[in-house]
A and B are shown apart, each in its own frame.
Chain A
Amino acid sequence: MIRASVGAAFRATLKRDLLISVKRRNDILNPFMFFIIVVTLFPIGISPESAMLRQLAAGVVWISVLLASMLAMDSLYRSDYEDGSLEQLLLSSQPLYLLVFAKNIAHWLVSGLPVILVSPLLAYMLSLPADGYLTLVASLLLGTPVVGMLGSIAVALTVGLGSRGLILAVITVPMSVPVLIFGTLAVQNSLAGGSPLGYLALLGAMLAAAVSLAPVATAAALRITLN
């Protein structure tokens, strides 16, 4: 038996997941379109005046990103569970932590990154002042992987359950609250002329904690639910 190195297994998992996403474009497109549609609802529902929107912009973009990532989460592990490849991951001799981490990265590249790339455009439509763009994108780059990895734990706990939509929301929404707070505070602070670096550092600290702990919890959750 040829035993692949850990790095090779990591790269193979990453490549496989990216390839599958490219072939199944709906998984990429749906959260992206959902994000854009949700953002457009806020000016219509609250107020089209730019003075009002300016104050709401950062929060609106962040909340829409959270909702879109929750929609995207549903597809995480689902097809792998249905075709049995998730069990193969558990049976493999490679550390599950790293394989799960590779899947999380692939999922973020496919569902998180496109949303972040289009967010300045939508922030412009919500008349966010120019000082806020860089901070908004930076806070999203640091914050969305945290939300994704926390959500991955919840998805792993509910994998294979029929009606899990509400459970996912009830578990992941409270967990995303700190990210939402620091993300919007960072943007508001830079709009007020202050430095957002403190809040960005906190988001970075959360990202570091999530990278080191969340895949461990996800791996444990997968071992429990698939036993």
Chain B
Amino acid sequence: MAGRWQWFHRLGSPKWFYEKTTRWLPWLIGVMALLLAVGIVWALLFLPPDYQQGHTSRILVVHVAVAGASLSFFPLMAVAGTVTLVWRIKLADMVAKNAAPLGAWFTFLTLATGSIWGSVSWGTWWEWTDSRLVSMLFQFFLLLGVISLRTAIESAETAARACALLSIVGCINVVIIKYSVAWWNTLHQPPSPISMEVGSPNGPEFWVATAIMIVGVYLFLAVSLILATRNEILERENKAQWVRELALRSR
């Protein structure tokens, strides 16, 4: 029994996480930089203009990737919250704490890139009849709620568990909001079927660039979250022996 759960508890040790990520980070950052560079250069310079949307379709390469990543925050925070509530693993809360502002920023970027694209393609910056815009806005509000709850509660322990509960409730709510808002007649285009033929609408030159961008943005999310969590670890464990040794060594 003890052996089976050992990996789980080792994973929850801030020291183990810090040491492992020190080794992983250069690789993650390298792959991320490569993918983002290839994706952006491809989208901006080499992607042929869309037969309907013209040059504005280049924005979609970024928008789709950021939007996909921003949808992963509530599930991530809900899982981290469950781990916090059930096993009281501190590392899960450190991840959840930093995921909230990062998620709010990603959601904002999704709304911003979507608006910029919409201002050209739909002729409007904001459209209430579009369900995804509206549900994204409410996800943004809910994330702000999680952040403000965290700052309002003084005790770190209470704040961690309260935010964990709110993330779980919020995760369920985001799904309900998404489907209920979709009952409105929506302007947002349905996901386009991908095509294997070069030159066709949504052909490989478009979706391969988008796929590269999606993986790149997810890596960016992971790297940002890891860096923020490492800061959090150093701050919270500043009394621990290994953190002091680390500080002495880096001087």
Chain A interfacial positions (CB closer than 8 Å to B): 153, 157-158, 161, 163-164, 166-167, 170-171, 173-175, 177-178, 181-182, 185, 206, 217, 220-221, 224-225, 227
Contact = CB atoms under 8 A, between A and B. Distances in A.
Interface string B158-180: 10011001101100010011001
A174 B166 CA distance: 13
Given A157-B166, A224-B162, A170 B180 contact: no
Nearest to A221: B165
A153 B163 CA distance: 12
A217 B165 contact: yes
B152 A167 contact: yes
Contacts of B34: none
Contacts of B183: 181-182, 185
B181 A224 contact: no
B148 interface: yes
Given A153-B169, A157-B149, A217-B169, A170 B144 contact: yes
Contacts of A173: 141
B160 to A, nearest CB: 9
Contacts of B169: 153, 175, 217
Interface of B: 85, 138-139, 141-142, 144-145, 148-149, 152-153, 157-158, 161-162, 165-166, 168-169, 173, 176-177, 180-181, 183-184
- Most B-side CB within 10 Å, residue of A153, A166, A220: A220
A174 B176 contact: no
Is the contact region of chain A dominated by helix, strand, or loop, or is it mixed?
Answer: helix
A206 B176 CA distance: 10
Contacts of B161: 224
Contacts of A221: 162, 165
Given A174-B173, A182-B180, A167 B162 contact: no
Contact of A171 (B145, B153, B177, B181): B145
Contacts of B85: 220
A107 B157 CA distance: 30
Contact of B180 (A157, A161, A163, A177): A177
- Most B-side CB within 10 Å, residue of A164, A167, A181, A182: A167
